[in-house]
Amino acid sequence: MEEAKSSRRYSLGPPWIFKGRALYQLHLVKADTVRALVPKDLRLVEAFGYTLGGMFLAHYEDSPAGAFDELVTIAGIVWNPPTSCAWASRVLVSSHEACQHGRKDVGLPSHYASFSKRIDAIETATEVKQRSFLNFLGLDRKNDNKQKFVKIEIMDTVTVSSAALCNISIPMTGSETNKSWMGPHIRMSLPSFSGNTDDNPHLLKYSCQISCSIRAVEPAKITATDSLKMSCENEERQRSISVLLSKPILALEFNHMTMQVDAPHIVIHKPSKMR
């Protein structure tokens, strides 16, 4: 029933259009950590023992599957002459329909997950010192300027059970309410390889054409849950969370985003002698 439903919702075919907002975060990831996540016959692009990975965290308000959340773990950059593209090691979505579409139509390692969100206000160390100084002077101040964060807990479905995967804390930037903070409007293309899965064994390439307002922001803070630290279901899952926990070097906020995903096509693999 779920597969039939997905076929009806995506019956218009590509390109598929997604609208919403996203956080695109790049990390320096140890090549040894992610090499096992990349197909053996593809070369991992690396320098000084590191590759460029990260995450793409999005909330789609409108899509062929309706509104849903998505977390893409980007293991690194792979090379298939003459092109290098990102490789997603794990894709978590809060829609069964989007999960089915990712697996069947795009060749992605998609899994269903739940995204639980809340807003927390946290007093920073600087604010604590300022408040202490004001109290020392006998001046009481209502601390209404606490830094606010969007806290997201992601529950990854594993076989018939669910396990807490990670918590993502995103500083609120003000762009949520102030459109002038959203940055310039740009168009960009994010090419990616996919496939090498049970549903799509071939090497595929597809492109995401993105139109959005973009601005650099403070990177999100990601923590693994205690349950994950204690007992990981499999090595692939553990390596993917290691990518998320690696060092962020750049975070970009996409607002008023329209993303066009073109249909993937099979690419001819050209083996590389270097690995």
The mean pLDDT value for 84-102 works out to 94
Residues 93/109, Cβ–Cβ less than 8 Å: no
A 10 A CB-CB count for 102 gives 25
Convert the pLDDT of each residue in 97-123 to its tens digit: 999 999 999 999 999 999 999 888 765
Closest CA to 34 of 233, 231, 256, 240: 240
The mean pLDDT value for 24-29 works out to 97
SS3 1: coil
The confidence band for 138, taking pLDDT boundaries of 50, 70 and 90, is: low
Per the CATH hierarchy, to which homologous superfamily does domain 2-118+152-266 belong?
A: Acetoacetate decarboxylase-like (2.40.400.10)
Please report, for the chain, the start and end positions of each structural domain, with discontinuous segments joined by +.
2-118+152-266
Stated pTM of the model: 0.83
For residues 124 and 209, what is the distance between their CA atoms, to the nearest angstrom? Answer: 38
Of residues 108 and 139, more confidently modeled: 108
For residues 79 and 44, what is the distance between their CA atoms, to the nearest angstrom? Answer: 6
